[in-house]
Amino acid sequence: MTRADFIGGLVLSAFFGAALWEGWSFQYGTEFAPGPGFAPVWLSAIGLCVSLLIAAHGLLAMRSPERSAAAPELEKWGLVRVVLTLLGLGAMIFLVESLGLALSILLFLLYLTLVVQRHGAAVGIASSVGTVVFVYVVFVYFLEVPVPKGPLGF
Amino acid sequence: MNVDHLLLGFSLATTPVNLLFAFLGVLLGTIIGALPGIGPSAGVAVLLPVTFGMSPVTAMIMLAGIYYGAMYGGTITSVLINTPGESASVMTTLDGYQMALKGRAGAALGMAALGSFIAGTISVVLLMIAAPPLAEWAVTFGPPEYFALMVLGLTTLASLTGGSMLKGLAMAVAGLLLGTIGIDLMMGEPRYTFGMVELYDRLDFLPVAVGLFAIGEIVYNIYRPVRVDPIKATLSGLLPTRQDWRDSAGAIGRGTAIGFFVGVLPGAGATLSSFLAYATERRVSRHPEKFGTGVIEGVAAPESANNAASTGALVPLMALGIPGSGTTAVMLGALTLYGLQPGPLLMSTNPEVFWGLVASMYVGNVMLLVLNLPLAPVFASILRIPYSVLVPIIIGIALFGVYSVENSIFNVAVAILFGGIGFFMRVYGYPPAPLVLALVLGPMLEKALRQSMQMSLGSVDIFFNRPVSAGILAFALLALVYPLISGMIARRRSRAVADYAQTPAK
């Protein structure tokens, strides 16, 4: 339990707090039984207590130099790769409508292997194209899943 | 147990199609288990959509094959690179890797395969004996007993999941809360939908499971790439010597018993069983000091235990419809996706699913043995493929698979969102299994709670007046309180030892 836990506890508290706020707007109970709001309210309240406890433990641990030193620190370049990957995944979602699912995933995988992971062109292209061809054959031809198609017809 | 049912199971399990998918399941499971960074939960979640065109029996046979195949696959990395392929193989690294350093990698892998086979086969017999009467008894359960059982499953998983119990609990509560999303089935009121039509029919478990287990793990590996450097071990001599058998026989027996019974407990699972089996073996050994230096019983015990536990975990899943781990939670979700109603009635309404699965596990264990003894060097060579090359393959299958569940891009976006959340959970030690289990159980738990309170006209006494539900809830409380108390005692004891050490000698 460290500074990261203190912040993590606060983030979770915000999540459960917001859920509690929203949960109050649901009908709490009927005459003899819990209503749609019963579980959301109680779960949010319990979650809020547990996450505040996590934050409190983190706060206490920040005073202990040994435990603070053992806290995981995010590596800068690793985090850059993660952000680039998640941004790429987000962009892929927006491209599906215009380019189709297969082409969007192919572009994402090329971006992932060549830009984020910095593979050589041969490895990056082979693994990306190979993956998309394989999953397209399995899902579209064998399992007959209808996928959004792009301008190239797949 | 009805012999006709078992014969029905074998007639289904030995059809060419089911044999093929059992083989594919154990093969893929072994590969998934061998790859560090992707465990059985991720494997089952990612490959679940591939089973949609199959009959439920074939699909469950394949998914179970992946599950117990992964248990063995984890051994290969434990022995050859000192890194467990999945958490249940952690204990195998202690002696397995030491054996490999001494040139006995083949013996370690061979004994693990044979121990897993023996444990797997015995525990299938135990599954066959235990599950039907349990299901028959559970038919008499009402909503309060079901509510209590689900609470027990969640609390034990949250407290035994390793790391901070508070974090496990927070994840379980978050999963339950996410399970309330959608239109309330009793009153028709939308909850946490924020006007999004896609959320009216609940948040699907599969995108969340794939996001947390697979994409989150892959993103973590992009953040901190896995460097696999297998030792140049000779894999000859896979068949154990007579002395190896003498040393391991007891370990396999004890590991099987511990593994099966721990596996049956909701929430405990394969990882805990392998820890307990290793600790027990060390305690009963005549030379406990040699553990950790490469003794074969240090491999046989945890490997037998984790394989038996994966079969034991199917008892509550098949008999009660209550999963005890992340992987069995995904399998429960799979049952519902195939249009089956998990629970004690499954065995009477769809006997072919349970008995087909049981029979296939006998066959699957033989396949696993036949596959693993001669092909251990081939699986070991998979470790030489750079993990980063496998990343696009896993992500590609995961994204297509999530889309195919409901042909929904929204589901793909959910998987990506939970992939990002899963990455931060991985970094900061928040376990994903309680969240996924709670998401699957959440709607059932809420339904059982509301039905119970309708029965009691709004009083919570109903949970404590009925002996079975009261007993189960007492166990759930114990599961929560025990780690706290034992932690406090351990801290007090270590403080006392430290104080004693600082006291100047008179």
- 10-residue mean pLDDT series, chain B (506 residues): 82 92 91 77 87 88 88 80 74 87 85 90 92 87 90 78 81 95 89 92 89 90 76 66 90 93 77 87 88 90 91 87 81 86 84 89 88 77 76 88 88 95 92 88 90 88 92 88 76 75 63
CB A105 within 8 A of CB A132: yes
Tell if the CB–CB gap between B219 and A86 is shorter than 8 Å.
Answer: yes
Tell me if residue B28 falls in helix, strand or coil. Answer: helix
Domain boundary among A44, A69, A94: A69
Tell if the CB–CB gap between B416 and A90 is shorter than 8 Å.
Answer: yes
- For A114-140, give the DSSP string: IIIS---HHHHHHHHHHHHHHHHIIII
B384, two tokens:
């030489």
Q: pLDDT for A114-128, tens place per residue?
A: 999 888 899 899 999
Q: pLDDT for A38-94, tens place per residue?
A: 999 999 999 999 999 999 988 888 877 666 555 566 788 889 999 999 999 999 999
pLDDT of amino acid A51? 96
B423 vs A contacts (CB less than 8 Å): 82
B52 touches chain A (CB under 8 A): yes
Q: Give me the residue from A81, A93, A138 closest to B413, CB to CB.
A: A93
DSSP state of B102: T
Tell if the CB–CB gap between B173 and A16 is shorter than 8 Å.
Answer: yes
B91, two tokens:
């204990």
Tell if the CB–CB gap between A127 and B393 is shorter than 8 Å.
Answer: yes
Q: In whole angstroms, what is the distance from residue B50 CA to residue A104 CA?
A: 20
Q: In whole angstroms, what is the distance from residue B494 CA to residue B496 CA?
A: 5
Residue A43 lies in a domain: yes
The nearest CA of chain B is from the CA of A109 a distance in Å of: 6
Max intra-chain CA distance, chain A = 68
Tell if the CB–CB gap between B397 and A135 is shorter than 8 Å.
Answer: yes
Q: In whole angstroms, what is the distance from residue A117 CA to residue A47 CA?
A: 38
Q: Which structural domain range is residue A23 located in?
A: 3-69
Q: pLDDT for A126-137, tens place per residue?
A: 999 999 998 898
Domain boundary among A47, A69, A91: A69
pLDDT of amino acid B85? 67
- In our burial notation (b when 16+ CB lie closer than 10 A, e otherwise), range B291-323 reads beebbbbbbbbbbbbbbbbbbbbbbbbbbbbbb
Nearest to A87 by CA among A115, A126, A62, A129: A115
In this structure, the answer to whether residues A65 and A80 fall within a common structural domain is no
Residue A152 lies in a domain: no
Q: Give me the residue from B174, B219, B391 closest to A47, CB to CB.
A: B174
Residue A33 lies in a domain: yes
Tell if the CB–CB gap between B453 and A32 is shorter than 8 Å.
Answer: yes
In this structure, the answer to whether residues A82 and A133 fall within a common structural domain is yes
B87 burial (CB, 10 Å; 0-12 / 13-18 / 19+) is: buried
Tell if the CB–CB gap between A40 and B191 is shorter than 8 Å.
Answer: yes
B49 vs A contacts (CB less than 8 Å): 139, 143
In this structure, the answer to whether residues A34 and A58 fall within a common structural domain is yes
In this structure, the answer to whether residues A63 and A93 fall within a common structural domain is no
Q: Where along chain B do its domains lie?
A: 3-400+407-501
In this structure, the answer to whether residues A84 and A52 fall within a common structural domain is no
In 10 A of CB B97, how many CB atoms?
24
Q: In whole angstroms, what is the distance from residue A127 CA to residue B103 CA?
A: 35
Q: In whole angstroms, what is the distance from residue B84 CA to residue B392 CA?
A: 22
Chains A, B: CB contacts under 8 A, how many? 168
**Preferred mutation among A12, A50, A133 to probe B, highest tally of B CBs within 10 A:** A50
**pTM for this entry:** 0.85
- For the CA atoms of A13, A19, A24, A27, what is the dihedral angle to 10 degrees? -140
Tell if the CB–CB gap between B391 and A19 is shorter than 8 Å.
Answer: no
Q: Give me the residue from A33, A74, A89 closest to B458, CB to CB.
A: A33
A44, two tokens:
């949010």
Tell if the CB–CB gap between A82 and B223 is shorter than 8 Å.
Answer: yes
Tell if the CB–CB gap between B180 and A40 is shorter than 8 Å.
Answer: yes
Residue A57 lies in a domain: yes
Phi, psi angle pair for B205, to nearest 5°:
-75, -30
In this structure, the answer to whether residues A86 and A129 fall within a common structural domain is yes
The nearest CA of chain B is from the CA of A115 a distance in Å of: 12
CB B398 within 8 A of CB B215: yes
Number of domains in chain A: 2
Q: Which residues contact A143 (CB under 8 A, 6 or more apart)?
A: B49, B50, B52, B53, B404
The nearest CA of chain A is from the CA of B185 a distance in Å of: 9
How far is the CA of B482 from the CAs of A1, B33, B82, B156, B464, in angstroms?
Answer: 20, 32, 32, 10, 21
B40, two tokens:
């059985």
Q: In whole angstroms, what is the distance from residue A71 CA to residue A66 CA?
A: 9
In 10 A of CB A140, how many CB atoms?
18
Q: Give me the residue from A39, A47, A85 closest to B222, CB to CB.
A: A85
pLDDT of amino acid A80? 93
Tell if the CB–CB gap between A142 and B53 is shorter than 8 Å.
Answer: yes
Nearest to B395 by CA among A144, A140, A74, A104: A104
CB B12 within 8 A of CB B54: no
Nearest Cα residue in chain B from A24: B191
User: Under the phi-then-psi rule, with left for phi > 0, alpha for psi from -120 to 50, and beta for the rest, what region is B163?
Assistant: left
Nearest Cα residue in chain A from B423: A82
CB B174 within 8 A of CB A15: yes
CB A32 within 8 A of CB B458: yes
Q: Give me the residue from B50, B177, B409 closest to A44, CB to CB.
A: B177
Domain boundary among A69, A95, A112: A69
B247, two tokens:
């040393």
Residue B218 CA to chain centroid, in angstroms?
A: 19
